[in-house]
Chain A
Amino acid sequence: NAGVMQNPRHLVRRRGQEARLRCSPVKGHSHVYWYRQLPEEGLKFMVYLQKENIIDESGMPKERFSAEFPKEGPSILRIQQVVRGDSAAYFCASSPQRGPGTDTQYFGPGTRLTVL
């Protein structure tokens, strides 16, 4: 069984460009989460999506960041007009279900974004 897939693994962008990060969840998983990790720090929740719905985006900056999980295809985290502070590792996780005490999340290998 394939795990969570993320691409690209490394992404370099210049300030002002757009970054698109893709995540394919574990087959059969309908819940996707995006996290950001800065060096030497833990993972910070950004957004939780189900197919075609954003459930919780409380951890995502209001400007320049957006996420989607279409009916077909991978989940996309999009960062417009990137700045140096956006440089980080972005991880996607998926789970088969969500509910109290049932939320086991499986992580992808991450995309390391570097903004020059």
Chain B
Amino acid sequence: GENVEQHPSTLSVQEGDSAVIKCTYSDSASNYFPWYKQELGKGPQLIIDIRSNVGEKKDQRIAVTLNKTAKHFSLHITETQPEDSAVYFCAATNRDDKIIFGKGTRLHILP
């Protein structure tokens, strides 16, 4: 079945710097890759997603890239701010349209 690996598990960056979170997936049939942000005590919130027919998508300070050949995709956050501190989850659909989540990256923005 689909396996989604996410790295790193913890990431600390200085405020204003960029943060990059990387994920790999195993199911070549995967065609939808959402990213979720989860703040303490809250549910995951969709922040950006990408479908397999595009290689890159950007929304203000957030961008996602997808390399289908290598089966990996990445989240890039530029000009990080304190409110970016949270746990971020990548995910990928498997051939049954089920969303499989990575284990999460805890992002700390340092003042």
Cross-chain contact B102 with A42 (CB below 8 angstroms): yes
Known: A42-B101, A108-B43. A56 touches B96 (CB 8 A): yes
**What 0/1 pattern do residues 79 to 91 of B give for CB contact below 8 A with A?**
0000000000100
A-side interface mostly: loop
CB contacts under 8 Å to B, within A79-107, are: 91, 98-107
B46: A residues at CB distance < 8 A = 104-107
CB–CB B104/A42 < 8 A: yes
**What distance in Å separates the Cβ of A13 from its nearest Cβ neighbour in chain B?**
20
Quote the shortest CB–CB distance from A72 to chain B (angstroms): 24
In contact, B43 and A100 (Cβ under 8 angstroms): no
Chain B contacts of A48 at CB under 8 A?
98
Interchain nearest-CB distance for A36 vs B (Å): 11
Asked if B61 lies at the interface with its beta carbon under 8 angstroms from chain A, I say no
C-alpha spacing A38/B32, complex, angstroms: 24
The residues of A with any CB-CB pair to B shorter than 8 Å are: 4, 6, 33, 40-45, 48, 56, 91, 98-110
